[in-house]
Amino acid sequence: MRSVRARAALGATLVVAVALVAAGAALLLVLRANLLEQAGLQAEITAREVASQIAVGRPPNRLELPDEDQRPVQVVDDGGRVVAVSEGLEAISGTSSTAVAPSPAGAASPAPSAPPSPSDDDDAADADGRSEGTDGDDTTPTPGEVSNDRPDFTSGTATVDGRRADYRFAAVKVTPSGTAREYTVHAGAPLATERDAVSTVRTAMLAGLPLLLAVVGSVTWLVTRRALRPVEAIRREMAAITASEDLSRRVPEPGSRDEVARLARTTNETLAALEASVERQRRFVADASHELRSPIASLRTQLEVGAAHPDLLDLAGAVQDTERLQQLAADLLLLARLDAGERPAGRHVDLAELVRDEMAHRHGDRIPVAVRVRGDGHGVTGSPGHLRRVVGNLVDNAQRHAVRSVTASVGATGDRVEVAVSDDGAGVPYADRERIFERFVRLDDARSRDEGGAGLGLAIARDVAHRHGGTLAVGTAAGGGARFVLSLPRADRPQEPSR
C-alpha cells in the first residue's frame, strides 16, 4: 500500500476496531454479570420466603410455594430426598437433586426430637458434628432460623409445564423449630431476560461496528488528505524545479505552523543554499577561466615570438607567467579540496615556530617582515601545510599593500592563539572588509599593482581558518593600515588541578 492516506485510514480503522471489540466484550461481560446477580437476588428472595415457612415448623407438604411458572422451587432434606417441589415442575438440573417428585418417606414432617439431656451433651456434639451454641465457621443454621450465610448460586435448567428454560438457582439452608433435621431450599429465577439483553446488545454492537468503522476510515482519509495536500504541492513544485533546473523557484509555504510548514521552509532554505552554491560555482568557473586565460595567453605569445625570433624571447617573463599559472592551479586545487569537505590533519602545530620558519624561508621580499612573539603556549591542532599557506597569504597580501613595514605577531589569549599581520598601507575600507574574502575579488588598488594575485589568497585563508575551527577578520592597524587577525583554538591549554 503506497498511499500514506490509505495506510493512515487503515491503521486508524484497525485501532478503533480493536478498541471497540475490546470495549464491547468488556461491556457484555459486565452486563451479563449484573443480570446474573439480579437473577440470583430474585432466586434468593424466593428461597428465603420458602425457608422462612419451614423455619416456623410448617410441614414440607403444606408449604405455600410460588405458583408462578417462572419460579421453580425444590426442597431437599439432609438425606438428599426431595420433600417438596413447585407445581408443574417436570425436570430440573443444577441443584443437589434431579428428582421432581416428593419422596414418600420425607414428605411428612418428622416428629420433633426431645432435647438432649445435659449429660448427653458431649455425645450429641460428637454425633452431630457440632456443639450447642458454637459460632465458629459452622454454616448450619440454628433450629428455627434461616441461614444468614450467602446462598450457593448455580446455573441450570428446569422444565415447567412442558417449557424448558435456563435458570439461576439459589440454595438456602434452614432447620425447622424443634428438630435437628436440615433442609435446603432451591429456588430459581429465569435467565431469559439476561440472555435477551445480552443478545440485543451484542446484535446492536455487531450491526453498528461496520458503520462506525466506515465513518472512522472515511474521516481519517479526508483529514489525512487535507493535511497532506501541502505536501503534494511541495512535491509537484520540486518535480517542476528538477525538470526545469530553475533553482530560483520556491515551494509554497502553508500559513500553518505545523510540521508541513516547517518542511516547506526548510526546503526553501535548502533551495536557496543550493542556488547560492551553484551560483558560486558558476562564478568560480568563469573567474578561473578568466584568470587562467591571461597567463596562458601571455606564455603562448612569448613562446611563439621566441620560436620565430629566438633573440627576442623574454625567458624571465615566460618563467614568471609559468609560476603564476602554477600558483593559480595550486590555489584552485586547494579550494576544490576545501569545498569537498576535506578535514585538516590533527597534528600539533606551534604557530610561533611556524611563523618564524615561514619568514626565514622568504628571500627577496620587497618589504621585510618583523616577527614578534608574546608569551608562550602557542600550540594548535591542524594541518601544518594549510596553516603555513594562511600565514604566507596574509604576508603576501600585506607586502603587496605596505609602504615601508609589515609586522607579524603571535600571542595567546585565554583559550585562543592569535596571529596578527599588519601593514602601513592604505588599509581596507569598512564597506569592503567582508567582500575582500570572496573569491577572485580584488580591490582597485590591488588590480593596479598587478603583482600576480588572482584574488584567491584571502578566500583560501578564511576557508582554512574555518576548517580549523577559527576565524579570520580584518581591522585597522595602529599605523592606519590593514590588520588581519587569525584566531584558532588553543591546543595546549593548561589543565586545571584535580580536586
Render 271-318 in DSSP notation, one character per residue: HHHHHHHHHHHHHHHHHHHHHHHHHHHHHHHHHHHHHH-GGG--HHHH
Q: Is the pLDDT of residue 130 over 60?
A: no
pLDDT digits (tens, 9 = 90+) for 83-108: 999 888 889 998 988 888 887 755 54
Residue 42 is assigned to a structural domain of this protein = yes
What is d(CA 103, CA 80) in angstroms, rounded to the nearest whole number? Answer: 10
Mean pLDDT value of segment 240-261: 86
Burial of 96 (0-12, 13-18, 19+ CB in 10 A): middle
Q: Judge if 352 and 309 occupy the same domain.
A: no
CA 478 to chain centre: 57
With contact defined as beta carbons under 8 Å apart, do 172 and 47 qualify?
yes
Q: Which pLDDT belongs to residue 484? A: 95
CA angle 262/267/272 to nearest 5° reads 125
Weakest mean pLDDT among 74-88, 186-200, 365-379, 482-496 = 482-496
| Res 139: pLDDT | 52
pLDDT of residue 494: 46
- CA 371/CA 241 separation, integer angstroms: 54
Q: What is the DSSP letter of 340?
A: T
Per mean pLDDT, which range of 63-67, 114-118, 284-288, 399-403 is the poorest? 114-118
pLDDT tens sequence across 405-434: 999 999 998 899 999 999 998 889 988 889
What's the CATH number where 380 sits?
A: 3.30.565.10
Q: According to the model, what pLDDT value does residue 142 have?
A: 59
Q: Are residues 311 and 384 in the same domain?
A: no
Residue 169: its pLDDT value, please? 93
Q: Tell me, what's the pLDDT at 497? A: 43
Task: State whether 306 and 284 are in the same domain.
Answer: yes
| Residue 440 binned pLDDT confidence (cut-offs 50, 70, 90) | confident
Q: Is 150 in the same domain as 32?
A: yes
- What average pLDDT score do residues 123-151 get? 53
Per-residue confidence band for 144, with pLDDT thresholds at 50, 70 and 90? low
What is the structure's pLDDT at 349? 92
Give the range of the structural domain holding residue 423, as residue numbers without chain letter.
347-489
Q: Are residues 358 and 310 in the same domain?
A: no
Average model confidence (pLDDT) for the chain?
Answer: 82
Q: What are the tens digits of pLDDT across the range 339-371?
A: 777 778 888 999 999 999 999 888 777 888 999
Decide if pLDDT at 36 tops 80: yes
pLDDT score recorded for residue 410: 94
Give 140's pLDDT tier (boundaries 50, 70, 90): low
Least trusted range by pLDDT, from 112-116, 375-379, 463-467? 112-116
Does residue 384 lie in a domain region? yes
Query: What's the pLDDT at 68?
Result: 65
| Residue 380 in this model has a pLDDT that exceeds 90 | yes
Strand, helix or coil at 44? Answer: helix
- Among 279, 312, 339, identify where a domain stops: 339
**Element holding 196 (H helix, E strand):** helix 192-244
Does residue 150 share a domain with residue 45? yes
Q: Domain for residue 270, yes or no?
A: yes
Would residue 213 count as lying in a domain?
Answer: no
What does the pLDDT average to over 43-70? 84
In-domain check, residue 39:
yes
When pLDDT is cut at 50, 70 and 90, the band that residue 4 belongs to is confident
Average pLDDT over residues 176-205: 87
Last residue of a domain, one of 281, 314, 339: 339
**Does one domain contain both 148 and 106?**
yes
What is the model's pTM? 0.50
Q: Are residues 402 and 440 in the same domain?
A: yes
36 plus 177 within the same structural domain? yes
Q: Report d(CA 129, CA 265) in Å as an integer.
A: 90
Q: Which residue shows C-alpha cell 520540486?
A: 238
Per-residue model confidence (pLDDT) at position 356: 92
Residues 394, 307, single domain; the answer is no
Residue 465 predicted with pLDDT over 70: yes
156 falls within a domain: yes
pLDDT of residue 276: 86
* 18 pLDDT above the threshold of 50: yes
Residue 312 lies in a domain: yes
When comparing pLDDT for 256 and 275, which is higher? 275
pLDDT above 90 as % of the chain: 24
Please tell me whether residues 50 and 164 are part of one structural domain: yes
Arithmetic mean of pLDDT, 99-127? 50
> Beta-strand (E) ranges in 78-231?
82-85, 89-93, 145-146, 152-160, 163-175, 183-190
Q: How many structural domains is the chain composed of?
A: 3
82 is a domain residue: yes
Q: What average pLDDT does this structure show over 396-411?
A: 91
CATH of the domain at 327: 1.10.287.130
Co-location of 328 and 390 in the same domain: no
Which among 339, 363, 383 is the end of a domain?
A: 339
